[in-house]
Amino acid sequence: MRTAFAPGRVNLIGDHTDYTGGYVLPMAIDLGVSVTVDPGGDRVVLKSANEPDAVDLPIRLSDPRSVEKGWVRYVAGVIAEIRPVSGATGTVTSTLPPGIGLGSSAALEVAVALALGYAGPPADLAVACQRAEQRSSGVPCGAMDQLASTMGVAGHALLIDCSSNEIKPIAVPSGCEVVAIPSGETRNLAGSAYAERRHSCQQAEYFLGPLRSAALVDVAKLTDPILRSRARHVVTENRRVLDFAQLFRHGKLAEAGQLMYESHRSLRDDFNVSTPALDSIVERLMKTPGVYGARLTGAGFGGCVVALTAPGALSEGWKMEPSGGARVQ
């Protein structure tokens, strides 16, 4: 028997920056997906306690979109990408609610790949699973979620430069907690404007060159107001990630928290991916004693708010532990 576990992630700051080679700062969390299998045969047969449909797929599968949607298709995407040499029969269990912006699909992909015997370096595993996600969902996602899941370091968040996937672990300072507060709105990125936002960034890059190195004075010269605000979010968000990393590293939690709130406003006003439910949670939390900062986390369009707080400041939400990356147990 082989058991693989892959964590979900919460992103402290840096959203909608990964797919233009910018900066992100997620941390792997203590919630995730476990896959236990008995390797052998030439089919992948998996049951999940949380899903009515079972997976029963051949290991020689090339088009994940030929199978039904949902979790079966994510598994098909992984099989098509990693091309396992042998099949497996087993079960999937998850402590990570799907569709709330905590990286559940990435955790599933990574855990399945490891359970099917993937043995390459963790960064390559992340990129293979990013491709699996793109092929199965049709969403042109970046690699943040998969990198956080494969490369997590206990007690640390990860400053990731998405132009090279270089990672610097940043110790989570003592005297703070990271709390995820679900908005109650689940979302499916395949039905969201995620692809449209990514396309706008590509169009802005046509005029400005890489947004990663674009200057705000040049962004201000874009004549299309939509492209201008999308580009302004990305350029200012990259700056906030780097500034946040410095402040966080030195335990300057109030200033770091303020950057989280600025990130939320930028995602709300310039990138237009927030919702009234997310906004009202963030505004309420920002007035709560002991909360340093709060913002939507992940793609937006629903999902979760992440808050940086003094210990015990919130009785709601889930306290997230910065955790190690995916592993075969």
Residues making contact with ligand GLA (CB under 6 A): 15-16, 18-19, 141-142, 144-145, 298-299
Residue 51 CB, nearest approach to ligand GLA (Å): 20
Catalytic residue among 15, 18, 145, 270: 145
Cα–Cα distance for residue pair 151/106, rounded to 1 Å: 12
27 touches 320 (CB < 8 A): yes
Q: Would you say 145 or 262 has its CB closer to ligand GLA?
A: 145
Q: Would you say 90 or 142 has its CB closer to ligand GLA?
A: 142
Residue 133 CB, nearest approach to ligand GLA (Å): 7
Of the candidates 7, 306, 26, 325, the residue with the CA atom closest to the CA atom of residue 158: 26
- Within 8 A by CB and 6+ apart from 259, the residues are 13, 240, 243, 244, 247, 293
Task: Give the number of other CB atoms < 10 A from CB of residue 79.
Answer: 27
Residue 65 CB, nearest approach to ligand GLA (Å): 18
Q: For this structure, is 145 an active site residue? A: yes
187 touches 303 (CB < 8 A): yes
Of the candidates 118, 135, 148, the residue with the CA atom closest to the CA atom of residue 25: 148
Residue 240 CB, nearest approach to ligand GLA (Å): 13
Residue 178 CB, nearest approach to ligand GLA (Å): 17
Identity of residue 102: L
Of the candidates 10, 35, 11, 41, the residue with the CA atom closest to the CA atom of residue 23: 11
The CA-CA-CA angle for residues 107, 110, 115, to 5°, reads 120
Residue 254 CB, nearest approach to ligand GLA (Å): 24
- Characterize the bridge pairing of strands 43-48 and 88-94: parallel
Q: Would you say 84 or 303 has its CB closer to ligand GLA?
A: 303
Q: Would you say 142 or 322 has its CB closer to ligand GLA?
A: 142
| Cα dihedral 162, 158, 194, 116 sign | positive
143 touches 162 (CB < 8 A): yes
Q: Phi/psi of residue 16, each to 5°?
A: 60, 35
Q: Would you say 194 or 318 has its CB closer to ligand GLA?
A: 194
Cα–Cα distance for residue pair 205/209, rounded to 1 Å: 5
Q: Kindly list the catalytic residues.
A: 145
